[in-house]
Amino acid sequence: MFDVVYDIGEEASKIPWLRNFESRPLGVWRYRELLPVEDYRRVVSMNEGGTRLIRCSNLERELGIKEIYVKYEGDNPTGSFKDRGMTVGVTKAVEVGAETTICASTGNTSSSLAAYSARAGLRCAVLVPSKKIALGKLSQALIHGANVLAVRGNFDDCLKMVKELSSDPRFYLLNSINPFRLEGQKTAAYEIYEQLGGEVPDHMIIPVGNAGNIVAYWKGFNDLKSLGLVNELPRLMGVQAEGACPIYRAFIEGASEIRPIENVETVATAIRIGNPVNWKRALKAVRETRGLVEAVSDGEIIAAQRILASREGIFAEPAGASPIALLIRAARNGLIEHDSRVVCIATGHGLKDPDIVLRSSRNLIEVDAEIGSILRSFGDARASLT
């Protein structure tokens, strides 16, 4: 697997955003000198990045942790962090003269690639597992004009197919195996540094599926260290779902290889991946930053999604709520110090996968069109919460 490496030591003085933080709006292309693009006039962008870093004061009180933030990547144009990578990846596709972009996806990658390919005037082909893809994400890929094919198999089968297809020069592969994707995603680390006033968190909790995003944050914070802006990196804490956790198993066993999982199952569709392509660098990122990898249950994920929404007004898709599930467990088990600053990455908007919420919620209460009936229903609702 290829990587993008910069010799930025001598070039740092030439980077405008380092000299004047107000010179450009917050977003992916604010940091264009640290992105692998040759012609900025051909950039394919929808103003991605610049997402909110939301302080969660209610969770701080309940968990006894000094500072808790959520980096809400649902603010991106198609509702997930994938847009950071696609703006760079599709720009590179245009630079090399590609005609058709292609990816395997459990949902978010397909919707993002379809949108950015449409913006660039490129054809787009998407392979998705035939079962259990979130309809909110699938609808985005379809409306943006992608040729969506449902493969009788899982995500890993889809990825195998698109990798084979990408040997044909007509197809430009844009899964996270493409190194340019991660270059765009790493800009979230730069933003967090700026949003925290030129500091980094003590802990970063990041959902892990194909494991590209945790690698991207690692790259981003390492860039800041190379630039002399920070001395230490945050401890990276990866969170997987129990039904799809090969990296977690390798981490707790101290293994140097993962054992892929064939029959993955979790409500967190965005991280339902049994053979992640970025596992090696993900383990390295966690171990080098003295972090960890944990696995949380579907029950913990659903509860965390509801807690985040009801306490802080933040609606994240199940995978995006998994860091909150780990945060709750880590706070209770003493894995995170009380005086810590923690940033959790909510990777996608909750409307990406609303079916989970509807299935796990109480039925709507039907009332008569009169005040007494409505007031009585309030009493019933209060009783059901106790």
CB contact at 8 A, 349 and 316:
yes
Amino acid residing at 66? K
d(CA 301, CA 243): 12
Asked if 56 and 69 touch (Cβ cutoff 8 Å), the reply is yes
Q: Is the dihedral of CA 385, 74, 189, 326 positive or negative?
A: positive
Q: Where are the alpha helices (DSSP H) in the chain?
A: 16-19, 57-63, 82-95, 108-120, 135-143, 155-165, 179-185, 187-195, 212-226, 246-253, 279-288, 298-312, 318-332, 354-360, 371-385
Q: What is the C-alpha R_g of the chain?
A: 21
**Which residues are paired to 150 by β-bridges?**
128
Residue 153, number of CB atoms within 10 A of its CB: 14
What is the Cα–Cα distance from 191 to 180, expressed in whole angstroms?
A: 18
Q: What domains, with CATH codes, occur in the chain?
A: 53-79+181-359 (3.40.50.1100), 81-178 (3.40.50.1100)
Residue 385: its pLDDT value, please? 29
CB contact at 8 A, 203 and 340: yes
Reading the block at residue 308, the tokens are 């985040």
The angle subtended at Cα 309 by Cα 303 and Cα 313, nearest 5°, is: 165
Cβ proximity of 242 and 266 under 8 Å: yes
**Measured distance CA(222)–CA(318) in Å, rounded:** 29
| Residue of 147, 95, 97 whose CA lies nearest to 123 | 147
> What's the Cα-to-Cα distance from 57 to each of 54, 63, 198, 238, rounded to whole Å?
9, 10, 21, 23
Q: What tokens appear for 377 in the block?
A: 């229903």
Measure the CA–CA gap between 179 and 1, rounded to whole angstroms.
Answer: 8
CB 43 within 8 A of CB 87: yes
Give the containing element (helix H, strand E) for 129. Answer: strand 123-129
- Could you tell me which residues come within 8 angstroms of residue 145 by beta carbon, excluding any fewer than 6 positions away? 114, 118, 124
pLDDT computed for residue 12 by the predictor:
64
Q: What is the rounded distance in angstroms from the CA atom of residue 295 to the CA atom of residue 208?
A: 10
Q: Which residues pair with 127 in a beta bridge?
A: 104, 149
- Tell me the C-alpha to C-alpha distance, in Å, between residue 188 and each of 88, 158, 215: 13, 28, 12
Helix axes 212-226 and 279-288, enclosed angle (nearest 10): 50
The one-letter amino acid code at 126 reads V
Contact (Cβ atoms closer than 8 angstroms) between residue 319 and residue 348:
yes
Which distant-in-sequence residues (6+ apart) come within 8 Å of 84 by Cβ?
28, 48, 49, 73, 76, 184, 185, 187, 188
The pLDDT score that the predictor gives to residue 366 is 85
Q: According to the model, what pLDDT value does residue 380 have?
A: 55
Structure tokens at 122: 């490129």
How far apart are alpha carbons 105 and 115 in whole angstroms?
A: 14
> Averaged in consecutive runs of 10 residues, what is the pLDDT profile of the chain (386 residues)?
67 66 85 90 96 98 97 97 97 94 88 96 92 75 91 88 89 91 97 96 97 97 93 97 97 96 92 94 97 97 96 97 98 95 97 80 80 81 38
Structure confidence at residue 373 (pLDDT): 87
Q: What is residue 383's predicted lDDT score, i.e. its pLDDT?
A: 40
